[in-house]
Structure 1
Amino acid sequence: MLDAGLARFEPSADARPCRAALLAAEASARSAALGVWGDPYYAVIAAADRASFTEKAGTSVIVEGRVTHVDVGGVRMTLLFGPRRGWDFSLTILQRNIKKFDAAGLNLAGFAGRVLRVRGLLDMQFGPQIEISGPDAIEVITQDRDEAAADPAPPRR
Structure 2
Amino acid sequence: MILLEEALSNPVSFTASDGHAYYLADLMVPEPFGEMGAELLGGGEVYVQALATKSDRWGRKPAILLDRDRRDLSARLVEAGVAIVKPQLRAFNCLKLLIKLERDARKTTSGLWVVKNVIIDYKSIGYAQIGLYGIVEAKLVSVGQTRSRTYLNFGERWTEDLTGIIQRRKLADFSEFGHDLSMIEGRRVRLRGVVQLDDGPQIELKHPAQLELLD
Greater strand content: 2
Alignment map for 1:111-126 (pairs within 5 Å): 111-126=184-199
- Is contact 2:96-2:209 (8 Å) kept? no
Alignment map for 1:28-67 (pairs within 5 Å): 28-41=104-117, 43-49=118-124, 52-67=125-140
Structure 1 unaligned regions, length at least 5 = 143-157
- Is contact 1:6-1:36 (8 Å) kept? yes
Alignment map for 1:9-28 (pairs within 5 Å): 9-14=85-90, 16-28=92-104
What is the percent sequence identity of the aligned residues? 29
Instruction: Report Cα offsets for 1:56-84 as digits up to 9, x if no partner.
Output: 11011111111101111122111111111
Looking at structure 1, the residues matched to 101 and 176 of structure 2 have their Cα atoms a distance apart, in angstroms, of 26
Instruction: Report Cα offsets for 1:5-64 as digits up to 9, x if no partner.
Output: 1111121332533233312221222223222222345x1111332xx3421110111111
More relative contact order in 1 or in 2 (CA 8 Å, sep 6+)?
1
Counterpart among 142, 151, 156 of residue 69 in structure 1: 142
Structure 2 unaligned regions, length at least 5 = 1-76
Change over 3 Å in CA distance of 1:119–1:35 after alignment to 2: same
Change over 3 Å in CA distance of 1:107–1:28 after alignment to 2: closer
Higher alpha-carbon Rg: 2
How many residue pairs align between the two structures?
139
Residue aligning to 2:201 = 128
TM-score normalised by length of structure 1: 0.79
TM-score normalised by length of structure 2: 0.59
